[in-house]
Amino acid sequence: MAEHLKLDNSERLYKEAQELIPGGMMGIRRPYNFVPGEYPIFFDSAKGGKVTDADGNEYLDMLCAYGPIIIGHREKEIDRAVIDQIRNKGFCMSIVQEVQNKLARKVISLVPSAEKVVFCKTGSDATTLAGRIARTFTGRPKIIRCGYHGWHDWCVEQKGGVLPKLYEDVLEFHYNDLQGLEDLLKANPGEVALIIMTPLGHPNAHEVERPKPGFLEGCKKLAEQHGAVLCFDEIRTGFRLSLGGAQQFFGVTPHMSVFGKAMANGYEISMVAGRADIMDVLISKAFVSSTYFNNTLAMVASLATIGMLERDGILDVVARRGASFCRKVRKVVKASGLPVTFTGEPWMPYITFDKDDTGRYKKLRTAFYTELIRRKVFLQPYHHGYVCYRHSAKDLSAAADMIGESLEAAARAV
C-alpha cells in the first residue's frame, strides 16, 4: 500500500470547524463523502489543474470544484478582468451595468435554445426559476424531472424539513426511459408544465450515461405533444461538451435550458435561457429578484471565460486530452480484472464498482480511493470527476498510471 498522507492540519481545522459550523462544512464536502481519515478536508490553495491541502500535499485536481473549473484555477486573464472591474467600475449597484447586455448577447449567440436569458447565482436558483417560468407560461402545476436539480424544496433528495405539499406535484422518470416519461404524461393529462432533465445522464452516485438514439428527440416530441416546456439542465454539461452545451453537441434544442458551473470558471453565476415568449412571463406575470443577481463580477468572469474558450479552442483540447486519458484508463481497468465500470468519457470520468450481494464492492471502492488519494490524484468516490484545460497530457497520463496502481493495490487488499 502507498504511504498514508500527513493530514494533521486538515484534521485540526475540521475539529475546529465542527464547533463553528453544523457538520464543519456543507454536506457533500464532509469527510464521509470521501474516505474518512485518508482524504484532505481543507485545501489551502489551487493553481492550474492542481490543489494543495492545508498540510502542503499537492494533488492533481480531477474534481474541479464539482465542475466549475473548465480552464484552471487562478487564471490570470479572467482574474485580471474581475480585478479591473473592482478597481475601475465597481460591481454592486442599485441597477445593472452594461456588461449584463454583453454577456447576454454572447450566450444568445452560442446557445441554441437561448433567445432571452436571466442571470442568477447558483444552479438551484436557475432550476427553480425554470419551474416558476414554465408554470406561469403554461398555467399548469406539475413538473416531471430526471436528474439532480439542486437543494430547493421541490427537488432536494434529503427531505428533512420539507413539507410534502411542496413536492407532491413533482414526478420523476429515469434517464433513457422514454416510455416512463410518456406514461407519466398520459397519467397527468393537461397538468404538466415542465419536463426538466439532464441531456447527459449523471445521477448521483451512478454511472454517467449517454442518450440512446432518439431519446432526447423523443423527449422533445412528447413535451410538444402534451403542451409541456422541455428544459435541459445543463448546469454540468454547459460550456463543457461544447460552447452551446449538450443541446448543441447532441443536436436537440429544448424550449428552455439552465446553465452554471463552467460558464465562469469558478465564479458564481448561473442562467436560465429560453424561447422569448416563454421567458417573457418574467416581465410582469412572474417575479424574480435578488440583491446579488445583478452583481457584475461573475458576469465579467463569464465573458472572459467564454472568450478564452472560443479563442483558444479549449473545449476541443479538453475533449481530446480527456479521450486519450479515458482510453488509457479503460485499458488499466480491463487489466485489473476487477468488477469495475468506467463511464463519463471524455469529459466526466467516473470509476464505479459493480454492486454485489456480499458488499465486497464497498471494500474495493474504499481501498481503491484510499490508494488513489495517497498517490495524489483527487477524485470523489461517489461523484464523477472532470477534465480541465490545465490538465496536461502528461498529468492525465500519470493519473491513469496511478489509477492502474490503485486498482492493483485494491485487489491485493480486499
The CATH label, of 3.20.20.80, 3.90.1150.10, 3.40.190.10, 3.30.565.10, for the domain at 8-73+315-413 is: 3.90.1150.10
Please tell me the number of Cα atoms within 13 Å of 4 on its side-chain side. Answer: 7
C-alpha cell at 90: 465597481
Q: What pLDDT does 1 receive?
A: 81
User: Kind and range of the H or E element at 237?
Assistant: none
The answer to whether the CB of 385 falls within 8 A of the CB of 379 is: yes
Q: Which fold has domain 76-311?
A: Aspartate Aminotransferase; domain 2 (3.40.640)
The single residue listed with the C-alpha cell 422533445 is: 220
- Residue 141's CB is within 10 A of a number of other CB atoms, namely 13
The answer to whether the CB of 243 falls within 8 A of the CB of 315 is: yes
Q: What pLDDT does 209 receive?
A: 96
The structural domains of the chain, with segments of one domain joined by +, span: 8-73+315-413, 76-311
346: cis peptide before it, omega within 30°? yes
C-alpha cell at 124: 438551484
Q: What pLDDT does 203 receive?
A: 85
* Per-residue pLDDT tens digits of the chain, which is 414 residues long: 899 999 999 999 999 999 999 999 998 999 999 999 999 999 999 999 999 999 999 999 999 999 999 999 999 999 999 999 999 999 999 999 999 999 999 999 999 999 999 999 999 999 999 999 999 999 999 999 999 999 999 999 999 999 999 999 999 999 999 999 999 999 999 999 999 999 999 987 789 999 999 999 999 999 999 999 999 999 999 999 999 999 999 999 999 999 999 999 999 999 999 999 999 999 999 999 999 999 999 999 999 999 999 999 999 999 999 999 999 999 999 999 999 999 999 999 999 999 999 999 999 999 999 999 999 999 999 999 999 999 999 999 999 999 999 999 999 999
Q: What pLDDT does 263 receive?
A: 98
Q: What pLDDT does 86 receive?
A: 98
Q: Determine phi and psi for 254, rounding to 5 degrees.
A: -80, 175
